[in-house]
Amino acid sequence: MQEQKFRILTINPGSTSTKIGVFENERPLLEKTIRHEAEVLRQYKTIADQYEFRKQTILQALDEEGINLSKLNAVCGRGGLLRPIEGGTYRVNEAMLEDLRRGYSGQHASNLGGILAHEIASALNIPAFIVDPVVVDELEPIARISGFPLIERRSIFHALNQKAVARRVAKQLGKRYDELNLIVAHMGGGITVGAHKQGRVVDVNNGLDGEGPFSPERAGTVPAGDLVALCFSGDYYREEVMRMLVGQGGLVGYLGTNDAVKVENMIEAGDEKAKLVYEAMAYQVAKEIGAASAVLAGKVDAIILTGGLAYGKSFVEQITRRVQWIADVIVHPGENELQALAEGALRVLRGEEEEKTYLGEAASPVSVRR
């Protein structure tokens, strides 16, 4: 029996670019990055105000590439900073659009993903989706306890790539994602390590601004007492401290670069400080993987290393050497978010998963209906 073919447009907005892809089932027909001039974007008061400009650039690019929009079956955008939701593929609806437009959990270019998908799909009378946004929250109650009653641990992580590679590895192993216990380490500008228990990320570090291993740009978990003393020293403004933690932390703070290739070149040239710092980053990732194995009570089917840093052979080897006693280590370098978006939409179009409904403020505490 011939496989049914679905054609999907995927949209991943960034701060100064919009990545688009057209897929026929899993096969990419087009992947393109549209660059936007910063001066043009500055004309818009809010990120949400950019949607018409970005929509027109997308439609123009598709026209130039000869893409027939009438052949599309769905449009899938990158999920933005919504309310906490379970993982899965969500149909874009009015409740979601409202939260994306006002930036419920913050202003970020990814908020445009669902808006753009809706705008293009509605004109074609086809569905618009988002898949596994960074606010996916499947933490177990015990994982939310921080030890400090005024602060609860939050789930903010690379959900799209983590879940996409977890599903791919499950397929390689001849299993379903919800049959396996996996540890997935996404290692890029930020690093998040998730404990995937039978299809749910029951614990993960908040890689946005708070905890876990330090990364090329982020400080990760730092000694709390010393951080409090620094904040009240009178030497720094709040914004300066945040920049030192996020953006100027990690490799940038120690070595002045967020480029792992440059750091490896520094090490090859005999830079001992670079060697120590780079090894410390791998050491901290391994520690976080070890902690995730405790969450899963040692019952781990595989450890997956993904993200841009997973291209670094020595970096991967250092992590693997420390954690391979837990489970086999599988490396999936890089992240293909456009592909992951297409795969999420495909699962719904094929009937392999039910689409989920975003409930906005009607839901508490997690905005999802099965």
Give the per-residue pLDDT at 46: 87
pTM for the whole thing?
Answer: 0.91
Residue 365, pLDDT > 60, answer no
Give the per-residue pLDDT at 335: 86
| Residue 213 or 207, more confident | 213
Give the per-residue pLDDT at 363: 63
Give the per-residue pLDDT at 207: 86
Residue 219, pLDDT > 80, answer yes
Residue 236, pLDDT > 50, answer yes
Give the per-residue pLDDT at 42: 87
* Cβ count near 234 (within 10 Å): 5
**Average pLDDT value for the chain:** 93
Give the per-residue pLDDT at 107: 83
pLDDT, average across residues 307-328: 97
Percent residues over pLDDT 70 in the chain: 97
Label residue 370 by pLDDT band (50, 70, 90).
very low
Give the per-residue pLDDT at 136: 95
- What is the C-alpha separation between 232 and 224, in angstroms, rounded? 13
Label residue 231 by pLDDT band (50, 70, 90).
very high
Express each pLDDT in 74-113 by its tens digit: 999 998 899 999 999 999 999 999 999 988 888 888 999 9
| Residue 14 or 326, more confident | 326
Q: Which of 68-77, 103-112, 154-163 has the lowest mean pLDDT?
A: 103-112
Label residue 368 by pLDDT band (50, 70, 90).
very low
